[in-house]
Amino acid sequence: MSHPKIILASRSPARRALMKELGVPFECHASDYPEDMTLKKPAHELAIHLALGKAEYIAEKFPDSIIIGADTFIVANGEKIGKPESTEDAKRIIRLMSDNIIQVISGIVTVQTDNKGAIKGGLLGHATTHLKIMNLTEKDIKFLAEQENALQISGAFSIEGEGGKFVEKIEGDYNNVIGLPIFQLREMLEKLGVKLPS
């Protein structure tokens, strides 16, 4: 192999699809690292902390590898918001986002393991994208909150799904909103010696 095995520490189909765009072989292995949104950290530091935790959680299983960890959540009215706990919580979150500018923040890390699975180095980064959400009716809110995947995504809101219809404006990396700032990841992998197709 020309580079170490690449592992994406995620079960997200959206992240898997974005990774395929890089054109290098990789494997997906879900990390069960707990996403504790209550930690008292600034939003971008929390995103990096959670992404690093996901990568570290599975590192020892994958010697001589590059492990990619990512975590994405939203910030609305100063509240850091992850996955909803229930449909009612999803409605509360969507109401908070309605007629508002929200931040979508992702932490992205790449860690390298040695031949025993110990971490020997890596790179950390984050991305922020701003979304202007339309003024939503209660019917809109109910519709979004009851989508099949609403409880599996941060903010109960999928821009590539029905949620995208309610976004008035986007500033920043669209891929970050999906859950993986792919341009930053490309740069990180190249710094670690991975040859990517141009």
Q: For position 2, what pLDDT does the model report?
A: 53
Q: For position 107, what pLDDT does the model report?
A: 97
Q: For position 155, what pLDDT does the model report?
A: 86
Domains and CATH numbers, the chain: 5-191 (3.90.950.10)
pLDDT digits (tens, 9 = 90+) for 26-37: 999 999 999 889
Of the candidates 32, 36, 64, 71, the residue annotated as catalytic is 71
pLDDT digits (tens, 9 = 90+) for 144-162: 999 988 898 888 888 888 8
DSSP state for residue 146 in the 8-state scheme: T
Q: For position 161, what pLDDT does the model report?
A: 84
36 catalytic per annotation:
no
pTM: 0.91
- Of 58, 80, 83, the closest CA to residue 68 belongs to 58
Ranges of the chain with pLDDT below 70: 1-3
Say how far apart CA 194 and CA 165 lie, in whole Å. Answer: 37
